[in-house]
Amino acid sequence: MSAEQSSKPRTEVADLYIPQELDKFSQIVHHPGRENFLVIRDHFSHEGPNGSHLCLISQFAGPSVFSMLECPGRVSGSRRLRGDLARRVAKQVANSVDLLHSAGIIHGDLTSSNILFQVSDVVHHWSDDNVYQILGSPETDNVVTRDGSPPSPHAPVQVVAPIDISRLSSPLLLQEDILLIDFGQSFFADRSPPNYEPATPLHYLSPEAFFDSEISFASDVWALACAIFEIRAGSPLFDPFLSSDTLILKQIVETLGRFPDPWWNSWEARRAWFDETGELKPEEEQRKQAVLLPAVKSSLRQKLREIGQQDDAPEVGEGTMIEKTGTRLEEAEVELLADLLEKMLRYRPEDRISMTEVV
């Protein structure tokens, strides 16, 4: 269950009305993506001291692709989905986005965090004892204010930590199918919300969204390409580690080449790494400009060929959904995947392939 802000009428809560519209559309048009959306089972309003809150009830789902790939303390990408499973997940996500676009809807926040694995049937039949046995008892703590003053009488009595979703990562508890979630940034393409601001993480954000704040079907295609790479590689296409828009843009140019004008000229920080043609400046020249992270060219094909090359082995077995350490992509897959991603990552949105062509 999730709670939405209380100030909006229900007809403006995208997390409610977008799934409802998709359900209506999928009853008319049979589409393979219809099985891979989080369904809103019910909704109600809760009246409390802080106002009215719309609560949405959906089916229980498992961990996200992002959380399944996390491997703290190891080289990024060391934990990846099994190859055939990664391709299955990527296909289901692509079908889901194609269904959205067929219904005239832009997702607007397509990331690996918004792709969840479906839980197995046994989980849906858990007793309360089963829930506590697998997920543990709720962890609570007292409410403490920043300045040390007593909490407001309208504050909750306690705060409750979210469940440790990694407890659900066992292949025995999960299906090898996904659900696309989070429609809070979604909208109909012919009804763009006024003053819309993209909320997509920087490393999934298309150039037109970054430079011009423009979101379209093509922006979803760009984000999907980033997601597909991450699903297969176990790590992001563009590393968000330092959360810097400048460093994300640098990585994009390293991989895909010079931005077209006027975007290129509007990005002042480019001068630290690149000449006006988009080629790398000599490393010593980059260092003279106090560059701590010199630019290094690395094509999509090169990145795909490097998958599995620097894997750190886990301390314990990771189960049947995870690829064996050191597994590399065959050259045929590298070529096919690189060709697809290149077409999805063309800079100009009008030059990118559509979702119909992707699937």
The answer to whether residue 8 scores a pLDDT higher than 80 is no
pTM of the model: 0.93
| Residue at 298: amino acid letter | S
Sequence-ordered alpha helix ranges (H) in 315-354: 331-344
Neighbouring residues of 21: CB distance < 8 A, sequence distance ≥ 6: 103, 105
pLDDT tens for 128-157 read 999 999 999 999 999 999 999 999 888 888
Write the CA distances from 42 to 10, 16, 19, 121, 165, integer angstroms.
13, 9, 11, 20, 23
Label residue 316 by pLDDT band (50, 70, 90): confident
**CA 299 to CA 254: how far, in whole Å?**
7
pLDDT tens for 204-261 read 999 999 999 999 999 999 999 999 999 999 999 999 987 789 999 999 999 999 999 9
Q: Where are the domains of the chain?
A: 2-120+173-193+201-311+323-358
* CATH number assigned to the domain covering 2-120+173-193+201-311+323-358: 1.10.510.10
pLDDT (average), residues 313-327: 93
| Residue at 52: amino acid letter | S
pLDDT tens for 63-86 read 999 999 999 999 999 999 999 999
**CA 85 to CA 147: how far, in whole Å?**
49
